Amino acid sequence: MKRFLLNNFTIAFLLTLVSISIYSFDLPFLKLLELKAYDVKLTARGIRNVSDQVVIVAIDEKSLEQEGRWPWPRSKHAKIIDQLSASGAAVIGVDIFFPEPDVYVPFETLDKALAEQEIQGWDSAKTADWLRQVGDSDRLFAQSIIKSDRTVLGYLVIPKNKQGKANAERLNQKHLDLLDFSQYGLVHRTDKPEDKVRIPEIDEVSMSLSEFMEASNNAGFVHYLPDRDGVVRRIPLVMSYGGEYLFPPLSLQVLQEAQKTPLMVNIVPYGVDKVTFNKVEIPTTEFGEYFVNYYGPSYTFRHISATDVLAGRVPEKELKGKIILLGATAAATYDTKITPFDPLYPGVEAHATVIENILQNDYIQRPPWIGLLDISIMLASGIILGIISHFFKAIASGVLALMGIGMFLGLDFFLLKEKGLLIHTVYPVFTQLFVYTGVTIYRFAFEERKKRFVQDAFSQYLAPEVVQQVVDNPNLLKLGGDRRILTAFFTDVKGFSSIAESLTPKQLVELLNEFLTEMTDILMTHKGTVDKFEGDSIVAFFGAPLPYEDHAAKACLAALRMQNRLAEMREKWKEEERPELHMRIGINTGPMVVGNMGSAHRMDYTIMGDSVNLASRLEGVNKVYESTILISGFTYDFVKGILECRELDRIRVFGKDQPVAIYEVLCEKSKLDSVLQDAFTVYAEALSLYRKKQWQEAIGRFEECIEIKNGDGPSATFIKRCQLYQQIQKRGRRGSDKGNILPDDWDGVYTMQSK
């Protein structure tokens, strides 16, 4: 019973940790669900009342119907500014851009020109000059901005790595000069240049004509942060240029102008700490992002049609002392956004919402510590659910889990509605469902545990048909082992460390996975058992767990097939301009211990013994002889009837006294071509001369072998060795180095000095 409780709890705890890991990775699908859950919470909170301090003067459908199509001449905008200023508006924020000179000459201007020429007589030059003066609506608009002394213009920004607008320009010194008065007035910084504060960088701007910017009291950027579903839930309150210039948005600039209170931003090493306005702290994320606390769908704020302002039909009391935002809301102006409440929400109303939030101290925030609260909720709910699942059956546990989810959702909604705290909704719910499902599956599958354990234990290093036989005989998995005659198999990649240093981690993993997959498939096809992977190396063995007689032959045939397949892969990698891998293989047959070794809770099916160590040493000996597949004389005795092999040498491996004959595996029997057959006949003669200490004659024959088989590595190795022995003998005869004279009974065995 205690073990069962421990297992349930352990599984619940581990699944909870997995869930927390998923939370840290912020998977796109779950993130999208989280955003939708946020929308549901906002809409469930309902439509809320707003004050009458913020009024929107809208270029709406009614205005376009009565005043003409969009865009309007600047003279109309000038008149709107004049009317609003005369009515006593506290500030006028303009969410409309005027990047090009106005080329529109109203009909009333033409009528005046015609009347003038009837009175004074026609003079084409004077009339044209007069038209330029009275028709210069850009000049009129700039004059209206100056006279109002309370107009704040907006300018569009495009951050780095975002697609720009057709009329946008790279931010340059000209723009910085125009925006010099529009930066944050007070900046407190404790960061250093090396901190790399993560504030969005402005790359391009779309700005109204310079004469308008110079005429305005202030200017603020307009930029939204739509999430991947297109919904605008956040806007930036700080954007940077070069890490030195810090700019506020239109909404904050309008507030600053209305209350004549400077804005302050506090920058710390991890990012934006806070934005302060009139001694009120406005919460932001470390990136300077602000959660827009929407009050409802479009038209939640008071809208006044621009045509009514132009016609003087708006009572002064409705405008006096108000924060006025002038913007386009008609569908033809294409200035709408998607919000949690409305898919066609006027952009100007988003600015109004931010202003109202600040005036009412009404925020949605995720303080720096809120992430720890998310994780704590996930951890607590997962552990509690794991304990519950022990004491209650699956259905009862499910009911209690649903009750727990309901209680959490209630807490979640309360924190948002009453405290303005935004915690994650989806991840805690996901954790409870994930843990409940995982623990329940574990409980139902408990009876099949041993069978699944066997399958899991062998499926990664045995062929499927072999796995099934092991499953049918689970006694093979008992602790302990048997001593059998088996064939050990070791591989290593030549120069892999240098190759690894030249690749990125991703490229390295992809290359290694492709290589190991192909090689492992061949091993399994030949009934090999994969013992382990050690980086780029493979340790395997043949003849267990299921015994069969021809394990040495299967190991050698697998080695040949692996080298052939690797050659094919090198051609592919060469075309892809990827590194080409070369593999060395060492094989030995002999007595070794095989079986499950480890603890009662963790076992590895592996081999051990001197015969295993010899196979490992032979893999390394390939480096000395520049060969690719080396087998011991013990293995050769099993395969000499079916494989073409050549004896390379007799050696003593490092740390051992007993000499071992080593052979290079070439191909299957009778598949060796005549040229190579000649080369290896010469090699055998050269080896015989070498063992007779006839160094010069041996060198000649080894050189002849190299001529026949270009680049024969073993021959090159023996030439160097013969030359070395010649020098040793000469020094010995002169008496300078008698200790190094080869004895008369020298057996021709070469002793390895390292592993």
355 within domain boundaries: yes
680 and 648 co-located in one domain: no
Kindly report the backbone phi and psi dihedral angles of residue 301, in degrees, each rounded to the nearest multiple of 5, phi listed first.
-90, 160
Query: For the chain, how far is it from start to end, CA to CA, in angstroms?
Result: 51
Residue 325, token pair as written in the block: 């935002």
Beta carbons within 10 angstroms of residue 670's beta carbon:
7
Q: How far apart are CA 14 and CA 64, in angstroms?
A: 62
Please give the residue that has the higher pLDDT: either 327 or 746: 327
- Residue linked to tokens 């997995």: 18
β strands within 602-703, DSSP E: 603-608, 629-632, 643-652, 660-668
Q: Are 72 and 190 in the same domain?
A: yes
Residue showing tokens 């030059």: 125
- Rounded Cα distance, 541 and 532, in Å: 10
From residue 416, how far is each of 273, 411, 430, 614 by CA, in Å?
21, 9, 20, 69
**CA proximity to 52, closest of 326, 362, 318:** 318
**End-of-domain residue from the set 359, 392, 419:** 359
CB 78 within 8 A of CB 141: yes
Residues 251 and 175 in one domain: yes
Q: Are residues 123 and 242 in the same domain?
A: yes
Torsion-angle region of 575 (φ positive above 0: left; ψ -120 to 50: alpha; else: beta): alpha
Of the two residues 9 and 625, the one the predictor is more confident about is: 625
Query: Do both 568 and 620 map to the same domain?
Result: yes
Given a cut of 60, whether residue 611 has pLDDT beyond it is yes
Residue 752's pLDDT is 86
pLDDT exceeds cutoff 90 at 439? no
Q: Is the pTM of this model over 0.75?
A: no
- Whether the per-residue pLDDT at 201 is higher than 50: the answer is yes
Both 499 and 602 in one domain: the answer is: yes
The whole-angstrom separation of Cα 152 and Cα 147 is 13
**Can you read off the two tokens belonging to residue 132?**
């330029």
Q: Residue 34 has what pLDDT?
A: 93
User: Which of the two residues, 112 and 687, has the higher pLDDT score?
Assistant: 687
Q: Which helix (H) or strand (E) holds 569?
A: helix 551-575
Which residue range is the domain that position 293 belongs to? 60-100+108-359
Residue at 184: amino acid letter? Y
- Residue 242: pLDDT band with limits 50, 70, 90: confident
624 lies in the same domain as 485: yes
Of residues 754 and 312, more confidently modeled: 312
Pick from 14-28, 54-68, 433-447, 556-570: least confident:
433-447
Lowest-confidence region among 465-474, 557-566, 671-680: 465-474
Q: What is the mean pLDDT of residues 599-621?
A: 87
Cα(725)–Cα(69) distance, rounded to whole angstroms?
A: 101
Contacts of 614 (CB under 8 A, 6+ apart): 488, 588, 590, 632, 653, 660
At 317 the pLDDT is 92
Of 101-110, 233-242, 450-459, 580-589, highest mean pLDDT: 580-589
Q: Are residues 120 and 247 in the same domain?
A: yes
Can you tell me the mean pLDDT for 275-301? 91
Q: How confident is the model at residue 137 (pLDDT cuts 50, 70, 90)?
A: confident
Which residues contact residue 478 at a Cβ distance below 8 angstroms, ignoring those fewer than 6 apart? 596
Question: Per-residue pLDDT for 164 more than 60?
Answer: no
SS3 assignment for 671-694:
CCCHHHHHHHHHHHHHHHHHHCCC
Query: What tokens does 489 get?
Result: 């198999």
The verdict on residue 55 lying in a domain is no
Q: Which of 151-160, 253-262, 630-639 has the highest mean pLDDT?
A: 630-639
Are 133 and 279 part of one and the same domain?
yes
Categorize the per-residue pLDDT at 1 as very low, low, confident or very high, splitting at 50, 70 and 90.
Answer: very low
Residue 483: strand pairing partners: 593
Question: Residue 2 pLDDT > 50, yes or no?
Answer: no
Distance from C-alpha of 504 to C-alpha of 510, rounded to nearest angstrom: 10
Q: What is the pLDDT of residue 4?
A: 44
Q: Sorting pLDDT into bands at 50, 70 and 90, what band is 464?
A: low
In the predicted structure, residue 193 carries a pLDDT above the cut 70:
no
632, 614 Cβ separation under 8 angstroms:
yes
pLDDT at residue 601, as a whole number: 66
Does 447 score more than 50 pLDDT? no
Residue-wise DSSP of 436-457: HHHHHHHHHTGGGHHHHHHHHH
If you average pLDDT over each of 384-388, 404-408, 543-547, which comes out highest?
404-408
Measured CA to CA in angstroms, residue 128 lies from 73, 110, 234, 293, 318 at distances of 19, 11, 50, 53, 41
pLDDT at 69: 86
pLDDT confidence band for 299 (50 / 70 / 90):
very high
pLDDT exceeds 60 at position 8: yes
pLDDT band at 468 (very low <50, low <70, confident <90, very high): low
Alpha carbons 663 and 556: distance in angstroms, whole number: 11
Q: Is 260 or 639 the better-scoring residue by pLDDT?
A: 639
Average pLDDT over residues 167-183: 83
Instruction: Say what the pLDDT of residue 11 is.
Output: 84
Percent residues over pLDDT 70 in the chain:
86
In a domain, 472, yes or no: no
**Does 107 score more than 80 pLDDT?**
no
Kindly state the average pLDDT of the residues 579-607: 86
pLDDT of residue 187: 82
Split at pLDDT 50, 70, 90, the class of 465 is: low
* Strands of 160-292, DSSP E: 169-170, 186-189, 202-206, 218-222, 225-226, 232-236, 239-241, 245-247, 263-268, 271-277, 280-282, 289-291
Mean pLDDT over each residue of the chain, to the nearest integer: 86
Residue 301 lies in a domain: yes
Question: What is the arithmetic mean of pLDDT over 112-141?
Answer: 59
- Please indicate, yes or no, whether residues 316 and 350 belong to a single structural domain of this protein: yes
User: Does residue 469 lie in a domain region?
Assistant: no
Average pLDDT of 548-560?
A: 96
547 and 494 share one domain: yes
Query: Is 291 within a domain?
Result: yes
Domain closes at, from 304, 331, 359:
359
d(CA 164, CA 602): 58
Question: Is a pLDDT exceeding 60 seen at residue 725?
Answer: yes
More confident residue, 49 or 452: 49
Q: Which of 359, 391, 410 is the last residue of a domain?
A: 359
Beta bridge partners of 651: 660, 750
Give the number of domains in the chain.
4
Instruction: Please indicate, yes or no, if residue 464 is contained in any of the structural domains.
Output: no
Q: Could you count the other beta carbons within 10 Å of the beta carbon of residue 682?
A: 22
Q: How confident is the model at residue 117 (pLDDT cuts 50, 70, 90)?
A: low
The CATH number given to whatever domain includes residue 483 is: 3.30.70.1230
Per-residue pLDDT reduced to its tens digit, 411-425: 999 999 999 999 999
| Residues 650, 731 within the same domain | no
> Is 738 part of any domain?
yes
pLDDT in tens, 336-352: 899 999 999 999 999 99
